[in-house]
Each structure stands twice: as structure tokens, then as C-alpha cells.
């Protein structure tokens, strides 16, 4: 009678082996499960994060496929073509100023004149190292640079035409705070706290990216209202108010100062932070704030008055100190004009000052001091810029760097809120069309992610050189004279996150598989070695080699399933712990980042993807079976009679 081994018999024998060597089994299970638990952990956490991103991404700009482009422009520095263009005008203006200075008996040194189109810059130790450099503040340089940039054909109209040809369904426009020229270059903006204006002898040194100071450091910009709408607080409108107030979205820290609501401490709970956000939204909606605007002439006059008063106070008791003949009063009201307190100058002094103004007017248009209060109305709140002291690995940092969907950093108002010749428009340096190209940003919206990515590939000038140098010829020929990147694209962020996870995770996966295979190979090899007598008995009873292999393969599958089960337990526990630790903070930050209407919405790091978990289970089984092949094949080749004698 031939030996018969049914699948049930193989299962019974394999199960018996599991029960007989429990310590060895436990060690194998723990070690292999810890290895694969990492994969389970990553799968659960990434699935939870992706699901949450998709959920939150239905709000804000997350569900739209928008790209942001900044046109590549020539810079005024190290720009020889620009120097050559204005050199003739520079010589002409220099001659005019020299002649006028001689006529009026004024001292004038062209080498130290900071208003000429060209300035002499010392680039080395010798006299031969002095070279002319274009002055970005000169109106002639600004005009010449604008003409030079026009040759790149990357205006908003050019961009819109190009985007529409590649499938864009909408194009938008905004300003940016990084332009280097224009009427507002030396002007100032200050949010009045409690209706009071504060004076600083050098406001240009202030660079506060949070709070009210962010309007200076991050800028107040114009943006298409279609891009601002998703971030508007309930009940608010982007229309100019009946009181003339300009609608604005502002950083959270600035809104906190405007409303007077104190930010929770660093040890505040997530519930306290969420309650704070709810209170801020309620208090900020429709609240107005006053912004003091001073043009360059008003700011310069105010700073002169401040420094003069400090100088008088510091030298009042000195006998040889002469009080200025022309003295100024500081403004008596917030954002008021700087007035003359005392003027005992001689007629000759006044005439000399007038002559100096005539001399300056040759290269610099004279500007009358202008100041006033602009009323803004809070209609939206945006996340603050991640500060130097913040960790990019914090929940706020992760959301800001990966999931950010906002109209941008700083203060934002709709383009159509700025009427011609208004004080608000003057504070912006003019209407958006009057801004230089390096002060504008373009946007294009596409129907899907593929079209948006294709546009980026076709339009982004990847070989663009540094500022001031010519744009590469290949970019000029293709018209790709832009820097293009995704904007508010949650779908792109999700895909990039998954791609990066796989890019780095595949090496970890390979290492895990190799280590697990070695462990399984050693474990099974030891079990087979300990079971030589048992194997020989079965062979003597008529069992074929395949019957013996069937038992050990069944054993391997059982161990693999146990490893998969324990891995899921370990991985789930780790994911639950991580979710409980970060979920609350992530939820609060996501509500702000996406301007979610439902403040109770949760950002969870726990999610089950059955396909991924099934793939991990299959990988565990496959790894174990492949590791088992070598010891099983070696065992099948052994001589059972010899094994019996050795035992």
C-alpha cells in the first residue's frame, strides 16, 4: 500500500511543529514581525494622511489644479546692456547738474551722486576696478529695464495665451512684494495699534514676519478675487465696504493683535488652540483696522524730524551747540503731516535750498509729502509664515511645507478693490498693471493634474541663470522664460508624498526582505536539522520527498500568516500612538491651512488600505517561501538511511 499524505495531514504535522518549538517560534515571530510592522505602520499612517488630505483638500484650493509662474526678468545689477543703454543719458544729466551747480555756486561731485542712472562701484582694490553699475532707483533705469524685459515676451498677456493653448481654463494675476523698483520702494505702511503711530529712526531694519509688522516684511499684495474666495470667512465679502474699507486677508498673528485676543501659550492643548481659532474667526470677521501710509517724501521728512529732535535733546546743554534754523514738529495726530515748528533761515539759505531742489530734480522727480490712513476690513485669515524658531518637523511645519493651500504669505486684497488715484492704490505703487514684471505673479488653472504638470514641464525655465545675466537662449526660443511651480495643488502634494515615500521606502523594503529571508532560512534550516530522524521515519514508511517538502512549506505559510498578523498588531499600535500624539495638532493646523468651514474636522494618521495590507501579507509569505526553498531542497537530497544511522 502506497503512502498517502493529504493537505489536512500536512497542516496537522505543520501545526504540531509550531506547538513543539514555541520559544524558537516566538523569537522568529517577534523579530520578523518587528521588521514588517514598519511597513504596516507606514501603510496605515500614509493611508490616513492621504485620506485626510483628500478630505481637507475639498476646501480651499486643494481640489484645484493651479500653477504659479513668476516671469524671469533682467536685474539692474551686472547688466552691461542696461549700462550701455543709459550711459548717454547719464553723461547728459551729469553735464546738466555740473552746469547748474556752477551757476548757483553749489558743491557737486558726480562720483558721489546717488541719483544718477549710473553709479561708480569699486569692485577691487585698484583704480582699474571701478566700474559703472545701473542705479535701480533711477527712473531712466527703470524705463530702460522695462524695455529690456519686454523683449522676453513674458507679460501676463503672453502667459495667458501660452497657458490657454495648453489647456488652461482660467488665468489669474497677483502682485508680489519682491519687486525692486516702483513708486512704493521707499514708502512705508504701518498698522496703527490702538490708533497710535509708532516712530522708528530706521524702519527699514525691522523685519518681523509675524504680527502687525508682517505687512512690511511680507508685503500687502493684490490678487485676483477668484483665488481669494476660498479663504473668506463666513458672511464676509470681497467688495469694498460702504465705508470705503478695503477687504483683506491677514496672517493669524496679525489678526490676533488687531482683535486683542491673546495667543495660547506654547503648552496649550489642542482644544485650547481650536477654541482660540474659533474665537479669532468670530471676532475678526468684518473687523476694521487702520493702516498709515506715507510716501517716500513724507517718510523722509518724518525721519528727519525724529533725528533732529533726538539731536537737539542730546546737545541741548552744550554751549557750542547751534539749534537748527529750520525745526520740525512731529505729527500731532496719527499718520499726520510733519509740520514746521520754527524757520529762522536767511533768505540766502532758503534760496540755496531751492537751488538744491532744482539740482536734484534733474535726475529725481520731486515728490510732495503724502500720507493718510487706509481702512482695511478683515475678511479672511491665513497661516503665518513658518518662523526661524519653528521646527519643520512640527505639525505646523509639515502642513506648511507639504499641504499648504493658501493665497500666499502676507496680506492680500482683491485687485478690483484698488481704484485709480486712491490712497490705497498709491500705497501699492500703482495699479497692478503698473508694477514691474518682477513684482507680478501669474496663475493658470487646468482641468486635471496631468495637464498642470505638462504645462510646468513645457514652461518652466530650468536652465535659467542667476539674476542680472541673460536668460538662456533655449528658454528664450521656447518662450519658457518663467519659474513655474504648483500652487494650492493638494493633489500634487499627495502624489509627491506617495512618490517620495516609495523612492526612499524601496531601499528599506529591500533590506527588510533580505533580513527576514535570512531569519526564516535559519529558523527553518534548524527545524529541518532537528527533524532528520522524523523525516527518515516518514521516508521509510513510503513518504516521497514532495510529501516532506509539503509539510515544511505548510509550516512556512503558517509562520508567515502569524508574522503578518503580529505585524499588523504592532504596526497598528504604533500608528494609533502616533495618531493620538499628532492628530489633534494636525487637525487644528489643517483647519487654518485649508480655511475649513467645519472646525471639528479631524486630520487622522490612521487609515486602512486593504490593497496595501494584502500586498504586505503576500510579500511576507513570498519572502518566507523563497527563504525556505534552500533548506527544503537540501533536505530532500539527504539519504534517509544515513540519517537514521547518524541518529
Percentage of the chain lying above the pLDDT 70 cut: 77
Q: Residue 183 — pLDDT band, cuts 50, 70, 90?
A: very low
| Half-sphere exposure for 400 (CA within 13 Å, toward CB) | 16
Q: What is the pTM of this model?
A: 0.75
Q: What is the mean pLDDT of residues 372-376?
A: 96
Give the E-state strand segments of 140-206 in sequence order.
Answer: 170-175, 188-191
Task: Give the tens place of pLDDT for each residue, 484-523.
Answer: 988 875 556 566 666 666 666 677 777 777 887 777 777 7
Task: Give the tens place of pLDDT for each residue, 126-167.
Answer: 766 778 899 988 999 999 998 988 888 889 999 999 999 999
Q: Which of 382-386, 469-473, 520-524, 624-628 has the lowest average pLDDT?
A: 469-473
pLDDT of residue 181 exceeding 60: no
Choose among 297, 296, 305: nearest CA to 200: 305
Comparing 272 with 549, which gets the higher pLDDT? 272
Give 385's DSSP letter: P
Alpha carbons 586 and 399: distance in angstroms, whole number: 8
Alpha carbons 372 and 278: distance in angstroms, whole number: 33
Cell numbers for 487, please give them.
500652487
Comparing 336 with 594, which gets the higher pLDDT? 336
| Half-sphere exposure for 264 (CA within 13 Å, toward CB) | 16
Helix axes 270-284, 545-594, angle to 10 degrees: 40
Q: Are the C-beta atoms of residues 593 and 385 closer than 8 Å to each other?
A: no
Q: Are the C-beta atoms of residues 616 and 511 closer than 8 Å to each other?
A: no
Question: What is the predicted pLDDT for the residue at 391?
Answer: 44
pLDDT of residue 363 exceeding 80: yes
Alpha carbons 484 and 486: distance in angstroms, whole number: 7
Q: What is the mean pLDDT of residues 448-475?
A: 75
Task: Give the tens place of pLDDT for each residue, 259-297.
Answer: 999 888 888 887 888 888 889 999 999 999 999 999 999
Choose among 250, 186, 181, 200: nearest CA to 220: 250
Task: Give the tens place of pLDDT for each residue, 40-80.
Answer: 888 898 888 888 877 877 776 767 889 999 998 888 888 88
Contacts of 356 (CB under 8 A, 6+ apart): 106
Query: Could you give the dihedral angle defined by the CA atoms of residues 534, 537, 543 and 545, in that order, rounded to the nearest 10 degrees?
Result: 60
Residues paired with residue 249 on neighbouring β-strands, in sequence order: 380, 412
Question: What is the predicted pLDDT for the residue at 159?
Answer: 94
Secondary structure of 326-390 as H, E, C letters:
EEEECCCCCCCCCEEEEECCCHHHHHHHHHHHHHHHCCCCCCCCCEEEEEEEEEEEECCCCCCCC
Contacts of 280 (CB under 8 A, 6+ apart): 252, 255, 256, 259, 261, 381
Choose among 543, 589, 77: nearest CA to 382: 589
Pairing of strands 482-489, 63-71: antiparallel
Q: Which of 186-200, 406-420, 542-556, 606-620 has the lowest average pLDDT?
A: 542-556
Cβ atoms within 10 Å, residue 13: 19
Q: Residue 31 — pLDDT band, cuts 50, 70, 90?
A: confident
Alpha carbons 37 and 343: distance in angstroms, whole number: 83
Amino acid at each position: 500500500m502506497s503512502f498517502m499524505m493529504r493537505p489536512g495531514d500536512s497542516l496537522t504535522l505543520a501545526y504540531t511543529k509550531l506547538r513543539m518549538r514555541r520559544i524558537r517560534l516566538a523569537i522568529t515571530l517577534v523579530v520578523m514581525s518587528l521588521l514588517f510592522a514598519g511597513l504596516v505602520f507606514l501603510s496605515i499612517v500614509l493611508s490616513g494622511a492621504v485620506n485626510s488630505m483628500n478630505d481637507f483638500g475639498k476646501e480651499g484650493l486643494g481640489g484645484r489644479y493651479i500653477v504659479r509662474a513668476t516671469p524671469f526678468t533682467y536685474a539692474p545689477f551686472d547688466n552691461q546692456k542696461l549700462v550701455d543703454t543709459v550711459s548717454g543719458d547719464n553723461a547728459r544729466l551729469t553735464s546738466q547738474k555740473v552746469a547748474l551747480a556752477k551757476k548757483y555756486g553749489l558743491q557737486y561731485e558726480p562720483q558721489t551722486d546717488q541719483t544718477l542712472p549710473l553709479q561708480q562701484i569699486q569692485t577691487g582694490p585698484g583704480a582699474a576696478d571701478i566700474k559703472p553699475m545701473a542705479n535701480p532707483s533711477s527712473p531712466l533705469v527703470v524705463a530702460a529695464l522695462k524695455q529690456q524685459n519686454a523683449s522676453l515676451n513674458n507679460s501676463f498677456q503672453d502667459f495667458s495665451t501660452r497657458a490657454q493653448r495648453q489647456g488652461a481654463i482660467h488665468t489669474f494675476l497677483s502682485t508680489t512684494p519682491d519687486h525692486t523698483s516702483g513708486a512704493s520702494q521707499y514708502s512705508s505702511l504701518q498698522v496703527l495699534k490702538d490708533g497710535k503711530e509708532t516712530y522708528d529712526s530706521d524702519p527699514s531694519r525691522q523685519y518681523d514676519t509675524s504680527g502687525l509688522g508682517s505687512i512690511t516684511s511680507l508685503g500687502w499684495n493684490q490678487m485676483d478675487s477668484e483665488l481669494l474666495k476660498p479663504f473668506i470667512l463666513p458672511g464676509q465679502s470681497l467688495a469694498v465696504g460702504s465705508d470705503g474699507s478695503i477687504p483683506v486677508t491677514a496672517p493669524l498673528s496679525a489678526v490676533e493683535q488687531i482683535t486683542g485676543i491673546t495667543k495660547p501659550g506654547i503648552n496649550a492643548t489642542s482644544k485650547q488652540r481650536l477654541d482660540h481659532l474659533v474665537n479669532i474667526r468670530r471676532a475678526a470677521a468684518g473687523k476694521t483696522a487702520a493702516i498709515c501710509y506715507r510716501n517716500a517724501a513724507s517718510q523722509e521728512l518724518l525721519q528727519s524730524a525724529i533725528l533732529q529732535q533726538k539731536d537737539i535733546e542730546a546737545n541741548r546743554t552744550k554751549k557750542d551747540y547751534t539749534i537748527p534754523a529750520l525745526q520740525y514738529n512731529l505729527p500731532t495726530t496719527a499718520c499726520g503731516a510733519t509740520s514746521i515748528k520754527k524757520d529762522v533761515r536767511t533768505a540766502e539759505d532758503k534760496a540755496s535750498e531751492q537751488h538744491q531742489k532744482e539740482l536734484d530734480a534733474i535726475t529725481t522727480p520731486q515728490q510732495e509729502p503724502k500720507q493718510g490712513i487706509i481702512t482695511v476690513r478683515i475678511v479672511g485669515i491665513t497661516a503665518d509664515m513658518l518662523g526661524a524658531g519653528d521646527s519643520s518637523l512640527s505639525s505646523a511645519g509639515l502642513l506648511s511645507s507639504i499641504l499648504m493651500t493658501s493665497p500666499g504669505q502676507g496680506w492680500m486684497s482683491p485687485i478690483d478693490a484698488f481704484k485709480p488715484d486712491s490712497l490705497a492704490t498709491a500705497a501699492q505703487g500703482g495699479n497692478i498693471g503698473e508694477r514691474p514684471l518682477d513684482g507680478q505673479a501669474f496663475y493658470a488653472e487646468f482641468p486635471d493634474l496631468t495637464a498642470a504638470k505638462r504645462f510646468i514641464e513645457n514652461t518652466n525655465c530650468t536652465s535659467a541663470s542667476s539674476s542680472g545675466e541673460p536668460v538662456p537662449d533655449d528658454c528664450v526660443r521656447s518662450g519658457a522664460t518663467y519659474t513655474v511651480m504648483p500652487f494650492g495643488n493638494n493633489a500634487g502634494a499627495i502624489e509627491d508624498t506617495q512618490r517620495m515615500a516609495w523612492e526612499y521606502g524601496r531601499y528599506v523594503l529591500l533590506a527588510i526582505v533580505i533580513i527576514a529571508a535570512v531569519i526564516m532560512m535559519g529558523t527553518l534550516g534548524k527545524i529541518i536539522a532537528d527533524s532528520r530522524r522524523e523525516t527518515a521515519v516518514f521516508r521509510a514508511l513510503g513518504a516521497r520527498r514532495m510529501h516532506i517538502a509539503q509539510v515544511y512549506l505548510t509550516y512556512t505559510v503558517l509562520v508567515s500568516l502569524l508574522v503578518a498578523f503580529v505585524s499588523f498588531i504592532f504596526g497598528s499600535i504604533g500608528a494609533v500612538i502616533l495618531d493620538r500624539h499628532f492628530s489633534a495638532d494636525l487637525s487644528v493646523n489643517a483647519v487654518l491651512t485649508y480655511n475649513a468651514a467645519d472646525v471639528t474636522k479631524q486630520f487622522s494618521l490612521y487609515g486602512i488600505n486593504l490593497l496595501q495590507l494584502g500586498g504586505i501579507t503576500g510579500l511576507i509569505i513570498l519572502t518566507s517561501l523563497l527563504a525556505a526553498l534552500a533548506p527544503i531542497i537540501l533536505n530532500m537530497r539527504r539519504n534517509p538511511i544515513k540519517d537514521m544511522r547518524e541518529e
